[in-house]
Amino acid sequence: MNNENKARIKTVWVSISVMILTLIFGDISPAHAQLKEIVVYNKNIIYINKYNNLVNIKDIINIDYKSILKKKGKVKTFYLINDLSSRDTFQMPDYSHELNLKTTRVDQRVIISRLANAIKSHETGGSGAYYRKSYSSSACGAYQYMPSTWNNYMGYKNACDAPEWVQDARIVHELEHNYKKYQDWEKVVASHLLPSRARNKATWNKPVRGNPTVAQYVNSVLNKANIVTA
């Protein structure tokens, strides 16, 4: 039995147990209790199955068990993610929750997932995004990697030749690597567009041929990710 099936079985038993206890004892949750949907995460493969990968977690429609947090009259949805690589779990708040990185502490994997999805949305998005070629350059794929930047990742000549999960793995690897390098999520996003200007924010409003300015690009991606950094 593989890890994915084990996780699904665990989810079913957790759900059944909570339902039984609730029927017997009523609502056993404290005022801010959280009921959690369990999803599998593996950063080496980064998909729950071949149709629902973590980068697109907001698009998952097969939600059997939602987690809610009732606070100030609002209902918030979270997912409990099982990381098969590190064998730990972390909470993934729904995309409707604004993440203010100055005031809210979240797992780094949450930020990476949102930024990856937002970069894809900005660069391509929609049907066929993973196989889309640029009209003005040799960039291609969901994240519009140039061949030199793609650099034969996992043995594929360019991004468009690679399966979706390989392209997702590439962007996650890039975001992880660049955060270690810059320790600044805005610079991490800037580096995807123009690495040569990522470190120096004073250059971000200068024109970029055929593209928005670095500042415009960073703001667009952060808005799509529903992330606030200041």
Q: State pLDDT tens for residues 174-223.
A: 999 999 999 999 999 999 999 999 999 999 999 998 899 999 999 999 99
Q: State pLDDT tens for residues 63-89.
A: 333 344 444 555 666 776 666 666 677
Please state, in angstroms and as integers, the Cα–Cα distance from residue 225 to each residue in 45, 67, 142, 147, following that order. Answer: 22, 21, 16, 26
Model confidence at 8: pLDDT above 50: no
Neighbours of 199 (CB within 10 A): 13
pTM (predicted TM-score): 0.72
Residue among 155, 3, 161, 15 nearest 80 (CA): 15
Place of tokens 């200068």: 206
Model confidence at 157: pLDDT above 60: yes
Find the radius of gyration of the CA atoms of the chain: 19
pLDDT of residue 207: 95
Report which residue type is found at 225.
A
Please state, in angstroms and as integers, the Cα–Cα distance from residue 29 to each residue in 13, 21, 25, 98, following that order. Answer: 18, 10, 10, 25
Q: State pLDDT tens for residues 160-171.
A: 999 887 888 899
pLDDT of residue 73: 54
Looking at per-residue confidence, does 45 or 218 come out higher? 218
pLDDT of residue 169: 84
Q: State pLDDT tens for residues 112-150.
A: 888 988 999 899 987 888 999 998 899 999 999 999 999
Neighbours of 115 (CB within 10 A): 25
Residue among 80, 86, 130, 84 nearest 110 (CA): 80
Residue among 81, 62, 49, 59 nearest 165 (CA): 49
Q: How many CA atoms lie within 13 A of 90 on its CB side?
A: 17
Strand partners, 70: 75
| Alpha-carbon 68 to chain mean position | 20
Q: What angle do CA 51, 109, 194 make, to 5 degrees?
A: 95
